[in-house]
Copies of this chain bind each other. A is one copy, B any other.
């Protein structure tokens, strides 16, 4: 039995779409049990109506408080009766094996880092996004969990990314790069210059510096960077994708023939829009946390929630953290030992 804590109150369409996503997953995955965490009076009617046949496979955990979409992480950690905090506590106490939330990213990150925490071998968990490329996918991490980092953290991110690419995305011996400007060794800022030789020393398939363009051209499978740069790139890319699609619409609006053309192209453009929505499929995982934590888009609908639950189960079924522990030791154990520090 895989027990999931589902934050039923987080997200733009909570609780209806969140609960429905849980129901979809329950119907599909017989080994799944869900804690629906949130306001019982709002959740119960949905389950009564739509999940009558699933009784025994779920439990409602009644929580009075709710985290708002713009609430700062510091306040989130004080709201101990919120659906998000209680969900995280269920995981910390071992009652649930994973957490899925469509709540605000900063809030989920905060409980992921401070309530659930990283595995002991890691100083920090990291969030990774798998960007679509013409050749497959490229994982960029960290995209916002860790702002000011040291070289050894980037080495940890590289092992985390390697494990994610191999175990979850099915990419064998993933090509690892470090985000920089200029391809040659020695190009980049101080952090990159210090990290490069450490990555070279690991047993990872380290290819060298990756440039901004390499995030989208498929030349690397995993690209590591600090969470500041990664977050800027993630948000810029999302926004640029939508800007381009909007520009297509505008250009198209200027001519009748183009309008007609766009009509024919609609399925193609829709499929593209989906690809451009980087967090659409399954959300963004908080990698290296003691248990799988999936952060979905705030505007996640039932299908997106179902996808996120599916990915959380994959992490669990692949024993992701055990493999990660092994990889940290096997691929970078010596490098990390030499560069360890008591003050992270």
Q: Residues of A at under 8 Å CB distance from B? A: 72, 106, 132-134, 144, 147-148, 179-182, 184, 188-190, 211-217, 225-229, 231-241, 243-244, 246-248, 250-252, 254-255, 257-258, 260-265, 267-269, 271-272, 275-276
Contact = CB atoms under 8 A, between A and B. Distances in A.
Contacts of A238: 212-213
Contacts of A225: 232
Contact of A269 (B212, B213, B232, B251): B251
Contact of A264 (B215, B250, B260): B260
A264 to B, nearest CB: 3
Given A240-B216, A241-B244, A247-B272, A72 B184 contact: yes
Nearest to A270: B251
B216 A239 contact: yes
B189 A213 contact: no
B251 A258 contact: no
User: Which of A190, A213, A231 has the most chain B CB atoms closer than 10 A to its own CB?
Assistant: A213
3 A-B pairs with least C-beta separation = A261-B264, A212-B235, A251-B268
A109 B85 CA distance: 51
B232 A248 contact: no
Contacts of A226: 189
A106 B211 CA distance: 14
A239 B261 contact: no
Contact of A251 (B237, B263, B271): B271
A190 B148 contact: yes
Contacts of A251: 265, 267-269, 271-272
A215 B214 CA distance: 20
A268 B260 CA distance: 12
Contacts of A248: 248, 265, 268-269, 272
Contacts of A234: 212
Given A72-B184, A213-B239, A216-B240, 10 more contacts: A148-B189, A181-B227, A212-B237, A213-B235, A215-B239, A215-B240, A236-B237, A251-B267, A255-B268, A261-B263
A213 B239 CA distance: 5
Given A251-B272, A258-B267, A263-B261, A181 B232 contact: yes
A239 B227 contact: no
B255 A181 contact: no
A257 B258 CA distance: 13
Contacts of A212: 231-239
Contacts of A264: 255, 257-258, 260-262, 264
